[in-house]
């Protein structure tokens, strides 16, 4: 029936009986119904106009069709309004705080909140509040053990954290200008004072002097890294300073031996490093040098790219000074974990006499070892490689180990690397040996031998 009325109404419109007819037209009324939709009224322009149907019949049919559409529209709006009332309407003047990806999750949470507010438990808690109080699987497993407590938001190692906070106040950077930092002036005073004593009175194995010397240089290096333009620049400056110190102290330690011209050049030549084991070929020395430098570079690369004062722990820095430097490295003699300093004076003596003598390995497994004659170029090459690894790199490692260890977060990492880092400078160490020297003019020396490289 409804379809017939719509077809009839459309046909009348097409024939011009209503909208196209000069005698009648539709116009919207100014009055509105309860569903906020305009009411369409039929107005006859000329009551005396002739029409095939009576105006009352046409009006009744048209109002019947329009009223049916209004009822359907009203029901749809009521359903939409009921759904909108369940969630808060956003302010049109402000943008939403959440991203579009978070909006579906937010709407689901709002529906969950609406349901939870209606369905409360006996203790007055919503579903979300009950979920927070529900123990996790880890907590359930932990409750099986006596003394279990729920983890709290606090430092993992409170004692270490507390000591670090106290030391950070003392050794941290709290001045905008580098020349106001106390570490620079106190460190230079301790460092240069001990140097002055050693230069004037000679070097001595005094524990307190070495402790003041190392502490002063440590805080100077801290100052350089804290006020440098970058961590890498600070490390480069510190390495340059330590290289200069290594050169100077090697000359100072060997001064007495180098100045003694009356020393017997034919005395036994002792060695404890592979670089001075003259029985090993030069190819093996080159491989050793490349391998040792590579490992050392990996160590320095780790400091250059991982160290930052934001993650530094001054408790570990102080422990590295006491444990590594003052217990395992300095004033230990032959038992130092970084090995002995490179014997520059022995290399110098061998370089002066290598063309005049032959060497025989003492305590050899062979019944009679063959005499060895070595060239001056070979002695210089071995000496340079050994000095670079066992003097310069050793000195840099000695004073940068605290920097590496203070960058760790776990105490066990500190313990492991205290032991593991030492092999870098001792990879070339041997159990020791000695060569006896004989003059090349001695008939027993084998003067017809050619120098080996």
- Residue 258, classified by CB atoms within 10 Å of its CB into exposed (0-12), middle (13-18) or buried (19+), is middle
Give the pLDDT score at 30: 47
Residues 6+ apart with CB under 8 A from 31: 39
Model confidence at 3, pLDDT cuts 50, 70, 90, reads very low
The Cα–Cα gap between 229 and 306 comes to 16
The Cα–Cα gap between 242 and 236 comes to 10
| pLDDT tens column, 54-103 | 666 666 766 666 566 555 666 666 765 666 555 555 554 454 555 555 55
| pLDDT tens column, 133-157 | 676 666 665 555 555 565 567 888 9
Give the 3-state secondary structure of residue 219.
helix
Q: What is the DSSP string of 266-328?
A: TS-EEEEEGGG-TTS-HHHHHHHHHHHHHHHHHHHHHHHHH--TTS--HHHHHHHIIIIIIII
Model confidence at 292, pLDDT cuts 50, 70, 90, reads very high
- Looking at the predicted structure, is the pLDDT value of residue 243 above 80? yes
What are the CA-CA distances from residue 113 to residues 107, 119, 123 (Å)? 10, 10, 17
Contact (Cβ atoms closer than 8 angstroms) between residue 402 and residue 325: yes
pLDDT winner (highest mean) among 73-77, 257-261, 294-298: 294-298
The Cα–Cα gap between 73 and 37 comes to 9
Contact (Cβ atoms closer than 8 angstroms) between residue 326 and residue 214: yes
Q: What is the DSSP string of 137-183?
A: HHHHHHTTSTT-----SS-SSHHHHHHHHHHHHHHS---SSGGG-HH
- Looking at the predicted structure, is the pLDDT value of residue 39 above 90? no
Q: What average pLDDT is seen over the chain? A: 76
Contact (Cβ atoms closer than 8 angstroms) between residue 296 and residue 424: yes
- Beta bridge pairs of residue 43: 25
- Beta bridge pairs of residue 435: 269, 361
CA-based nearest residue to 173, from 309, 316, 311, 318: 309
Give the 3-state secondary structure of residue 423.
helix
Domain spans, the chain? 2-77, 163-445
CA dihedral 370, 375, 376, 377 (to 10 degrees): -130
Give the pLDDT score at 374: 85
Give the pLDDT score at 31: 45
- Residue 426, classified by CB atoms within 10 Å of its CB into exposed (0-12), middle (13-18) or buried (19+), is middle
Give the pLDDT score at 437: 80
Cβ of 54: how many Cβ atoms within 10 Å?
A: 9
- 269-273 and 357-361 strand pairing: unpaired
- Residue 79, classified by CB atoms within 10 Å of its CB into exposed (0-12), middle (13-18) or buried (19+), is exposed
Contact (Cβ atoms closer than 8 angstroms) between residue 313 and residue 373: no
- Looking at the predicted structure, is the pLDDT value of residue 172 above 60? yes
Model confidence at 451, pLDDT cuts 50, 70, 90, reads very low
| pLDDT tens column, 388-445 | 999 999 999 999 999 999 999 999 999 999 988 888 988 999 888 888 887 775 444 4
The proportion of the chain whose per-residue pLDDT surpasses 90, expressed as a percent, equals: 38
Cβ of 372: how many Cβ atoms within 10 Å?
A: 17
């Amino acid at each position: 029936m409804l379809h017939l009325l719509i077809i009839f109404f459309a046909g009348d419109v097409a024939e011009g009986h209503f909208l196209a007819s000069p005698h009648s037209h539709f116009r919207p009324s100014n009055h509105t119904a309860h569903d906020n939709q305009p009411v369409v009224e039929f107005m006859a322009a000329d009551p005396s106009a002739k029409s095939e149907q009576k105006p009352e019949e046409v009006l009744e049919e048209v109002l019947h069709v329009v009223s049916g559409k209004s009822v359907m529209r009203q029901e749809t709006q009521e359903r939409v309004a009921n759904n909108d009332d369940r969630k808060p309407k956003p302010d049109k003047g402000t943008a939403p705080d959440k991203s579009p990806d978070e909006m579906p999750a937010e709407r689901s949470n709002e529906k969950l909140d609406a349901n939870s507010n209606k369905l409360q438990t006996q203790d007055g808690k919503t579903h979300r509040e009950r979920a927070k109080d529900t123990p996790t699987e880890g907590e359930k497993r932990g409750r099986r053990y006596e003394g279990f407590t729920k983890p709290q938001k606090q430092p993992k190692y409170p004692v270490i954290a507390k000591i670090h906070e106290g030391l950070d106040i003392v050794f941290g950077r709290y001045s905008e200008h580098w020349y106001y930092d106390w570490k620079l002036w106190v460190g230079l005073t301790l460092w240069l004072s001990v140097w002055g004593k050693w230069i004037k009175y000679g070097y001595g194995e005094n524990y307190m002097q070495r402790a003041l010397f190392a502490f002063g240089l440590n805080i100077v290096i801290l100052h350089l890294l804290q006020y440098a333009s970058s961590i890498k620049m600070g490390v480069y400056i510190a390495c340059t300073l330590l290289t200069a110190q290594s050169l100077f102290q090697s000359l100072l330690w060997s001064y007495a031996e180098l100045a003694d011209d009356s020393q017997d050049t034919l005395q036994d030549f002792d060695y404890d490093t592979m670089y001075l084991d003259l029985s090993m070929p030069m190819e093996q020395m080159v491989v050793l040098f490349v391998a040792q430098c590579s490992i050392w570079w990996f160590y320095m690369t780790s400091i250059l790219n991982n160290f930052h004062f934001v993650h530094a722990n001054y408790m570990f820095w102080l422990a590295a000074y006491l444990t590594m430097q003052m217990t395992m490295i300095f004033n230990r003699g032959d038992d130092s974990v970084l090995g002995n300093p490179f014997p520059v004076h022995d290399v110098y003596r061998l370089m002066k006499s290598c063309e005049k003598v032959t060497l025989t390995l003492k305590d050899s497994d062979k019944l009679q070892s063959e005499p060895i004659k070595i060239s001056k170029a070979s002695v210089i090459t071995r000496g340079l490689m050994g000095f670079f690894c066992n003097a310069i790199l050793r000195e840099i490692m000695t004073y940068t180990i605290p920097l590496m260890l203070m960058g760790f977060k776990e105490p066990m990492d500190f313990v492991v690397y205290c032991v593991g880092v030492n092999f870098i400078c001792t990879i070339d160490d041997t159990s020791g040996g000695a060569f006896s020297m004989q003059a090349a003019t001695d008939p027993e020396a084998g003067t017809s031998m050619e120098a080996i490289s």
